[in-house]
Amino acid sequence: MQLEAKDIGFRYGDGPWLFQGVNLTLEPGEIVGITGPSGRGKTTLCRILAGFEAPIEGAVHFNGAPLPNNGYHPVQMVLQHPEKAINPRWKMHKILNEGYQPDKELLDLLGIEREWLTRWPHELSGGELQRFCVARALGPNTRYLIADEMTTMLDANTQAQIWHAVIEIAKKREMGIIVVTHESNLMRRLCHRVIDFNK
């Protein structure tokens, strides 16, 4: 079940092309980094790969066919700021179980404490909230995870715990990952290969 970007081009409105002719193939279980300067279009490319945005040119294929536009999406994305990705009017248990019911093993792996489940989002730290966003993205039908600066705002311990959990799940399920980060050490440690989005 490959994830394939074929000759992708994108621009906002009638502005200049952000990028054109982007080709990328991810195999199951592969961890690929995307690096490049701020504003180059990495997040935009991620949004296209996750089906949030349609490319102006080219196409994204999953398992040889266009990305599905209903049902559970096989490509899930986790953003830098968890508070932008959750409903502030829902308690954490509702946010966590929105798409599927994560099991105890996953909650433990991500260090999610049970007492957090009855709290509102504003009653948790950024690192605690991000664990929920990661759990929510790791449904059993997630085949590719896009981590766009997923742990940039977090301290080293939280960053390590979250990545340990994600890598363990990825190995077990042969889930592919796209890692967008400006941290070159993290990139080197995690990724099988890195695409320089500067060129």
Ligand X SMILES: Nc1ncnc2c1ncn2[C@@H]1O[C@H](COP(=O)(O)OP(=O)(O)OP(=O)(O)O)[C@@H](O)[C@H]1O
Give the residues lining the site for ligand X (CB under 6 A). Answer: 12, 18, 36, 38-44
> Residue 81 Cβ, how far from ligand X at the closest point, in Å?
11
Tokens of 188: 């080197």
45 versus 124: smaller Cβ distance to ligand X: 45
Q: How far is the CB of 170 from ligand X (least distance, A)?
A: 22
Nearer to ligand X, 38 or 70 (CB): 38
48 or 124: CB nearest ligand X: 48
By beta-carbon proximity to ligand X, the closer residue of 39 and 71 is 39
Q: Is the Cα dihedral 61, 39, 19, 9 positive or negative?
A: positive
Residue 105's contacts (CB-CB under 8 Å, 6 or more residues apart) are none
